[in-house]
Amino acid sequence: MIKVGIIGASGYTGGELLRFLKNHSEVEVTAATSRKHAGVPIKKIHPHLQDIDFKFTDLSPEKIDADLVFTATPHGASMRIVPKLLERGIRVVDLSGDYRFDDIETYEKWYGFKHENPLDAVYGLPEIYRNDIKKADLVANPGCFPTGSILAGLPLANEKLVDLMIFDCKTGVSGAGIKPSDVTHFPNISDNVIPYAVTIHRHGPEINQEINKYAPVKVSFTPHLVPVIRGILTTVHTFLKDDLTSEEVESIYDTFYQDEPFVKVLDAGEIPRLSAVRGSNYCHIGCFDIDENGRIVIISAIDNLVKGASGQAIQNMNIMYGFKEKKSIEFMGLHP
Amino acid sequence: MIKVGIIGASGYTGGELLRFLKNHSEVEVTAATSRKHAGVPIKKIHPHLQDIDFKFTDLSPEKIDADLVFTATPHGASMRIVPKLLERGIRVVDLSGDYRFDDIETYEKWYGFKHENPLDAVYGLPEIYRNDIKKADLVANPGCFPTGSILAGLPLANEKLVDLMIFDCKTGVSGAGIKPSDVTHFPNISDNVIPYAVTIHRHGPEINQEINKYAPVKVSFTPHLVPVIRGILTTVHTFLKDDLTSEEVESIYDTFYQDEPFVKVLDAGEIPRLSAVRGSNYCHIGCFDIDENGRIVIISAIDNLVKGASGQAIQNMNIMYGFKEKKSIEFMGLHP
Amino acid sequence: MIKVGIIGASGYTGGELLRFLKNHSEVEVTAATSRKHAGVPIKKIHPHLQDIDFKFTDLSPEKIDADLVFTATPHGASMRIVPKLLERGIRVVDLSGDYRFDDIETYEKWYGFKHENPLDAVYGLPEIYRNDIKKADLVANPGCFPTGSILAGLPLANEKLVDLMIFDCKTGVSGAGIKPSDVTHFPNISDNVIPYAVTIHRHGPEINQEINKYAPVKVSFTPHLVPVIRGILTTVHTFLKDDLTSEEVESIYDTFYQDEPFVKVLDAGEIPRLSAVRGSNYCHIGCFDIDENGRIVIISAIDNLVKGASGQAIQNMNIMYGFKEKKSIEFMGLHP
Amino acid sequence: MIKVGIIGASGYTGGELLRFLKNHSEVEVTAATSRKHAGVPIKKIHPHLQDIDFKFTDLSPEKIDADLVFTATPHGASMRIVPKLLERGIRVVDLSGDYRFDDIETYEKWYGFKHENPLDAVYGLPEIYRNDIKKADLVANPGCFPTGSILAGLPLANEKLVDLMIFDCKTGVSGAGIKPSDVTHFPNISDNVIPYAVTIHRHGPEINQEINKYAPVKVSFTPHLVPVIRGILTTVHTFLKDDLTSEEVESIYDTFYQDEPFVKVLDAGEIPRLSAVRGSNYCHIGCFDIDENGRIVIISAIDNLVKGASGQAIQNMNIMYGFKEKKSIEFMGLHP
């Protein structure tokens, strides 16, 4: 039984963490902080969590009593909180972008801040870094787009089969967070598809960093907002350097992910769908169709709030403490 | 550990049963039948159930090896299957309408069939019949609208506070089942609200039957299809005979449901929402606002496929076998 | 050819007015004001209006050069602008609630303001007040819910057939206006149905005022937000005092609306749908089903931004100036 | 005043043709055929067309009295009807794929039929073939994806700036037609994004044919179904051979489309959106962002049923008869 705190528990990722931890038999939640809602019962903000009876607090990092803390705080805020927790011997899974980059300059260029407290962290994608995560004190939980994109592209990079990958991603609106804006206003996004940050989204360099550890690949990334609550569907357009069939490529993926509890490689020609992973920590990968120009299409589907955020954070925690990796996140998708 | 079979496992309610049972530690699924898909791996039809590795079969009721069977079969089909199972000593939770009515004539009038095999059954609404369910061999799992409507109306009937209830229900499209039709065609129902069977829906007499066991109440019922996947929001319009405040009515509900694990009574003025129960077995009840004409409004929210169908069926099974009532259905709603 | 100004042209109703007037051959738009967006090209705010080449201005009412002005301003703001326009001999169609009430006390009670400038106005529902609208200098354009509700209920009130009407309304999210809020945030309203202001919505007394001019009827009104962009579907639950068939009631409606260009009475049993009136100025009325308790259900469908706001405002203008009543608003709904 | 017939008037494109023609002052509709619904009033099938009072008929092509006929018939059916109309001196706009291909072998390969009646036809994209359309007796109305894709890609091909174009298209569900299927079943497509025919869609070779008349370009095309009723958003990923800025590319587009009544080129960085063209015959083109790999992204938006089908068919008719090109299709998009 470990003690766990959540800093920034009133947003969507905070709500998901609370939901998963409620049914995790090895964990006691000792703090769920929210500056804005301190003193408010959690279920008044997260209306689904009617079985959770405690309130948000406004504890500072110095006062939290925990073995591990999830920092579900904005980019730029985590860098001020994480060091204080680590100093006190608390392990951290950070859901912001602050500790995802190997290279501080890349971070500072794309996020537009100076990094005040660079620290060594493990990039929390268990499919690559499981062994490092086990011993890590600080895990940088991956971005939502990078999770779906890296998992879709990695086996091809690993085999040095491609030079260029175009990630055309379609994301649900919950990825924009809990705060309303013009673009998340129902009459504006319903019945619409809205490309945004077409060539300048921060998740591009994050995908680039991990893919390029396997092979030199030019990474081009464009996200689109679709009228969907949860989920990221990633369409990878890429060109095979070798002459392979769809089945041969599928076989590479099958092998690459054969021991992974949360990655499901579908049969060649089978298309992943968001509903099949909705609410779940699974990533489905499929398609592998090849056209007359030698373009192969890989499709992946994840839930942006689960495998793309809070579920993966729980998975990381489970690995860090030697719990069963699927504990409290074994849920299969809510289809339909 | 009990052996469980599902007859009619390829529809939405069958998929939900499979999903819940997969994580139920006291149950082994020994058969999932589908005439149409016999021999097909389950995950080819239910794309979210990638962790389930067996196939649909076409076993007849005479051949199923089980302690309990869920019959997720159409109205009119269950009446031919259920007796055969009971004869073999198999307990049954029937998800069709065939065994929900005390009065065969009412059934035959509203369903338009002759009932070939009337049998004694317990109406499977645990909030009313928990003790009977424990010992039942045949549980008639309630309809989706009746579940949300009866739970919303019962405490008022129990106190003899009203003479008339108008149930204006809004249901998600999954309630229409897995088979496509004009009305479920996306371009027809998206961005639309479609009332149907406005005064002649079969769930009307089912609500009427249960409410009238508590008090003589005229029940009027109208369902609307809304562009929502899952969920039934019920708006009850009724007129209080006594002069009560919203808080007093809320207090009646609080008391009535105080020991219920799956019914959550919200504070007066608080509005239940579908997302808060999405994918869950909970029923939220709230509002209690009263207008200048003495009309009080009660609102309930359920997931039609869970508390309105398969989740409640699991709850009934748990009660029948003395398992923890929440076992495998403790999931809180998928919000957002 | 008349000169027309729009005050408050940057919201949804302003956008609709601009869209209709662009194709109105008798009108020249001389001003479209927006304090916030003065100097900005209209098409930067209303991305569909690419054929409109002028900019928002911040003209005060004293400076607008127009024969008629639409005030698409908030409740409480119109009352300060309208008198200044009338003084200058400009006719006004006001889209706010400020001039809809015969009784100032009712207005002040429900809107929570003191009315600073009460004036005589004609309630702009052409189906009742066409002759008065012709000569009016100030037309108070009806609320969106009242338009759909009054048109659905009026023929029954006119025949003194009912004592009580319950209006259970389902509205698209554009009715909440262009400004984002928690409730209009896509992840919160998509796949949801949200009752609000359940017994205290300001449109209740407006419906009550008009219905009660025909017969003493208790009016109960509850709105629900549904995941729809445009449209209000109104379900009227009421009890007939006389013994009539559905066809007889339909016939009353047929007669009542026989000369109305924008009201279509469907056959008994036929259900209006939002898509059939989407983007149009039509109101469809149908159903007329009667249940065993003597409850009759009347259903109406309108587009809240058109017949429920800007389209009806254009209709009023057309009547005021003797233009063809359908001019620039003859569009039939965008189905699917 | 010309006489116009519609063969196959009961589908979505037939409904749109009827809607536009109703308000076209130069046209009289003399026949709207439907084998299935012959004798049924049009408004019973197209519930929005309440102002159209005639019925579907089952006239054969030999009996239709018309100057021009729209054949809104399936692929494979048009080739049997069109020659009979032309023989009688009736001009034809064919909405099927039967006459879109210059090369019969390409048609037969991708459609899987033998072409029974090859004929010379003009490809009905006015932005390329306006002068030919004027004199044409047979116009092959373009496919929906090709319309959005060709308009987005043509100016780059015309300048020989690219060798390869990847068209990643997102289409509304009405593109699948009026007939329900598993994939259009609301619970399956709502809250989902579904790639289909990922490398084998028939519209790929159609795009390829037209683009390659301007420059040798490898065309790769993948469509996705999104939970949207109407609209196709096309994301073109391509790589510039010359070193140009976004503004320079925008300028090429501005010039290319400067005289086009229905193509609107947005400012560089501005993103087209489906709602801005909803229900309209406009095509919006924008973005022009360039990333670090030299990839430029072009985005176009159309309504698949209007510019992608029936609106463009009307535009072609207007050109064929010298009517004002925008006549009856001047409608700007229904936003929100």
Q: Which of A120, A136, A165 is the last residue of a domain?
A: A120
Contact residues on chain A for C182, CB-CB shorter than 8 A: 180
3-state DSSP percent of chain D in helix, strand and coil, to 5: 30, 25, 45
Nearest to A66 by CA among A53, A51, A49, A84: A84
Q: Is residue A136 part of a domain?
A: no
- pLDDT, tens digit (0-9, with 9 covering 90-100), for D136-183: 999 999 999 999 999 999 999 999 999 999 999 999 999 999 999 999
Chains that touch A (3 or more CB pairs under 8 A): B, C, D
Which one of B19, B174, B275 has the shortest CB-CB distance to A48?
A: B275
Angle D263-D269-D270 (CA atoms, 0-180°, nearest 5)?
A: 50
CA–CA dist A298, A250 (Å, integer): 10
Find the residue in C nearest to A46 (Cα). C188
CB C4 within 8 A of CB C67: yes
Q: How confident is the model at residue C216 (pLDDT cuts 50, 70, 90)?
A: very high
Shortest alpha-carbon distance between residue A138 and chain C (Å): 31
**Residue B77 burial (10 A CB sphere; 0-12, 13-18, 19+):** middle
Q: Is residue D9 part of a domain?
A: yes
Which one of C174, C191, C230 has the shortest CB-CB distance to D191?
A: C191
Q: Do A228 and D336 touch (CB under 8 A)?
A: no
In this structure, the number of other CB atoms found within 10 A of the CB of residue A88 comes to 14
**Residue D132 burial (10 A CB sphere; 0-12, 13-18, 19+):** middle
Q: Which of A71, A86, A120 is the last residue of a domain?
A: A120
ipTM: 0.96
Q: How confident is the model at residue A147 (pLDDT cuts 50, 70, 90)?
A: very high
Amino acid at D153: G
Helix axis angle for A203-211 and A104-111, nearest 10°, is: 160
CA–CA dist C308, B155 (Å, integer): 38
pLDDT given for residue A229 in this prediction: 98
Shortest alpha-carbon distance between residue A184 and chain D (Å): 13
Amino acid at B294: G
CA–CA dist A280, B232 (Å, integer): 23
SS3 for A233?
strand
Q: Is residue A150 part of a domain?
A: yes
SS3 for A311?
helix
How do the pLDDT tens digits run along chain D, 336 residues long? Answer: 999 999 999 999 999 999 999 999 999 999 999 999 999 999 999 999 999 999 999 999 999 999 999 999 999 999 999 999 999 999 999 999 999 999 999 999 999 989 999 999 999 999 999 999 999 999 999 999 999 999 999 999 999 999 999 999 999 999 999 999 999 999 999 999 999 999 999 999 999 999 999 999 999 999 999 999 999 999 999 999 999 999 999 999 999 999 999 999 999 999 999 999 999 999 999 999 999 999 999 999 999 999 999 999 999 999 999 999 999 999 999 999
CB A100 within 8 A of CB A206: yes
Paired sense of beta strands D2-7 and D27-33, if any: parallel
- Domain limits for position C299: 144-304
**Sign of the torsion formed by the C-alpha atoms of D178, A172, C44 and D235:** negative
pLDDT given for residue A131 in this prediction: 98
Query: Greatest CA separation found in chain C?
Result: 62
Q: Which residues of D are catalytic?
A: 144
Read off φ and ψ for residue D151, nearest 5 degrees: -60, -35
Angle D324-D325-D328 (CA atoms, 0-180°, nearest 5)?
A: 80
- pLDDT, tens digit (0-9, with 9 covering 90-100), for C234-262: 999 999 999 999 999 999 999 999 999 99
Q: Is residue C262 part of a domain?
A: yes
Q: From its phi and psi, is residue C141 left (phi > 0), alpha (psi between -120 and 50) or beta? A: beta
CA–CA dist B57, B31 (Å, integer): 7
Are B79 and B6 in a shared domain?
yes
Helices and strands counted in chain D (H then E):
11, 13
Place of tokens 């002069």: B243
Nearest to D279 by CA among C235, C279, C20: C279
Percent residues over pLDDT 70 in chain C: 100
Q: In DSSP terms, which residues pair with C298 in a beta bridge?
A: C236, C287
In this structure, the number of other CB atoms found within 10 A of the CB of residue C289 comes to 21
Q: Is residue D77 part of a domain?
A: yes
Are B112 and B171 in a shared domain?
no
CB C170 within 8 A of CB C230: no
**Dihedral of the alpha carbons of A38, A44, A47, A49, in degrees to the nearest 10:** 60
Residue of D36, D171, D173, D185 best to disrupt the B interface, most CBs of B under 10 A: D185
- pLDDT, tens digit (0-9, with 9 covering 90-100), for C71-111: 999 999 999 999 999 999 999 999 999 999 999 999 999 99
Are C105 and C57 in a shared domain?
yes
Q: How confident is the model at residue C326 (pLDDT cuts 50, 70, 90)?
A: very high
CA–CA dist C265, D79 (Å, integer): 41
Contact residues on chain B for D186, CB-CB shorter than 8 A: 173, 184-186, 189-190, 227, 229
Are A73 and A199 in a shared domain?
no
Q: Do D50 and C22 touch (CB under 8 A)?
A: no
CA–CA dist A309, A12 (Å, integer): 10
Chains that touch C (3 or more CB pairs under 8 A): A, B, D
Are B296 and B175 in a shared domain?
yes
Contact residues on chain B for C273, CB-CB shorter than 8 A: 192-194
Supply the DSSP symbol for B333: P
Cα→Cα distances D263→A249, D236, D255, D280, D301, Å: 41, 17, 11, 11, 10
Q: Is residue B92 part of a domain?
A: yes
- pLDDT, tens digit (0-9, with 9 covering 90-100), for A101-133: 999 999 999 999 899 999 999 999 999 999 999
pLDDT given for residue D135 in this prediction: 98
Q: Do C46 and D336 touch (CB under 8 A)?
A: no
CA–CA dist B292, C220 (Å, integer): 8
Are D154 and D289 in a shared domain?
yes
CATH number at C212 reads 3.30.360.10
Residue of B186, B188, B191, B305 best to disrupt the D interface, most CBs of D under 10 A: B186
CATH number at D22 reads 3.40.50.720
Instruction: Collect all residues from C whose CB is shorter than 8 A from any CB in D.
Output: 12, 15, 19, 22-23, 46-51, 174, 178, 190-191, 229-230, 264, 273, 275-280, 282, 284, 330-336
CA–CA dist A163, B34 (Å, integer): 47
Q: Is residue D125 part of a domain?
A: no
Are A106 and A239 in a shared domain?
no
Q: Do C334 and D279 touch (CB under 8 A)?
A: yes
Q: Do B48 and A280 touch (CB under 8 A)?
A: yes
Supply the DSSP symbol for D41: B
- What token pair was written down for C37? 């967006």
Q: Do B191 and C297 touch (CB under 8 A)?
A: no
Residues of chain B with pLDDT under 70: none
- How much is the pTM? 0.97
Query: What's the number of domains chain B is made of?
Result: 2
Are C180 and C295 in a shared domain?
yes
pLDDT given for residue A333 in this prediction: 97
In this structure, the number of other CB atoms found within 10 A of the CB of residue C36 comes to 9
The string of DSSP codes covering D217-283 is -EEEEEEEE-S-SS-EEEEEEEE-SS---HHHHHHHHHHHTTT-SSEEEEEET----HHHHTTSS-E
CA–CA dist C295, C239 (Å, integer): 4
Contact residues on chain D for B186, CB-CB shorter than 8 A: 173, 184-186, 189-190, 227, 229
Peptide bond into B336 cis (omega under 30): yes
Residue of B36, B44, B185, B191 best to disrupt the D interface, most CBs of D under 10 A: B185
Are C115 and C155 in a shared domain?
no
Q: Which of C58, C88, C120 is the last residue of a domain?
A: C120
CA–CA dist A171, D316 (Å, integer): 37
Are C116 and C205 in a shared domain?
no
CB A296 within 8 A of CB A243: no
- What token pair was written down for C284? 């469809």
Are D173 and D45 in a shared domain?
no
Q: Determine which helix (DSSP H) or strand (DSSP E) holds C288, and give its type and residue range.
A: strand C283-290
The string of DSSP codes covering D63-116 is T---SEEEE---TTTHHHHHHHHHHTT-EEEE-SSTT--S-HHHHHHHH-S--S
Are B96 and B181 in a shared domain?
no
Contact residues on chain D for C23, CB-CB shorter than 8 A: 330-331
Nearest to D171 by CA among D221, D220, D231, D222: D231
SS3 for D319?
helix
Contact residues on chain C for A227, CB-CB shorter than 8 A: 186, 190
**Dihedral of the alpha carbons of B71, B73, B74, B79, in degrees to the nearest 10:** -50
Q: Do B195 and C237 touch (CB under 8 A)?
A: no
Q: Do A180 and C178 touch (CB under 8 A)?
A: no
List the catalytic residue out of C144, C169, C283, C287: C144
Q: Is residue C311 part of a domain?
A: no
Contact residues on chain D for B181, CB-CB shorter than 8 A: 180
Residue of D191, D267, D277, D299 best to disrupt the A interface, most CBs of A under 10 A: D191
Find how far residue C168's CA is from the centre of its chain: 17
Find the residue in D nearest to B174 (Cα). D187
- Work out the average pLDDT over C64-69: 97
Q: Do C297 and B222 touch (CB under 8 A)?
A: yes
* Sheet (strand A263-268) strand order: A194-195, A218-225, A164-171, A232-239, A295-302, A283-290, A263-268
Within chain B, residue ranges assigned H as helices are: 12-22, 42-45, 78-87, 104-111, 126-135, 144-158, 186-189, 203-211, 246-256, 274-277, 311-320
Angle C184-C190-C192 (CA atoms, 0-180°, nearest 5)?
A: 100
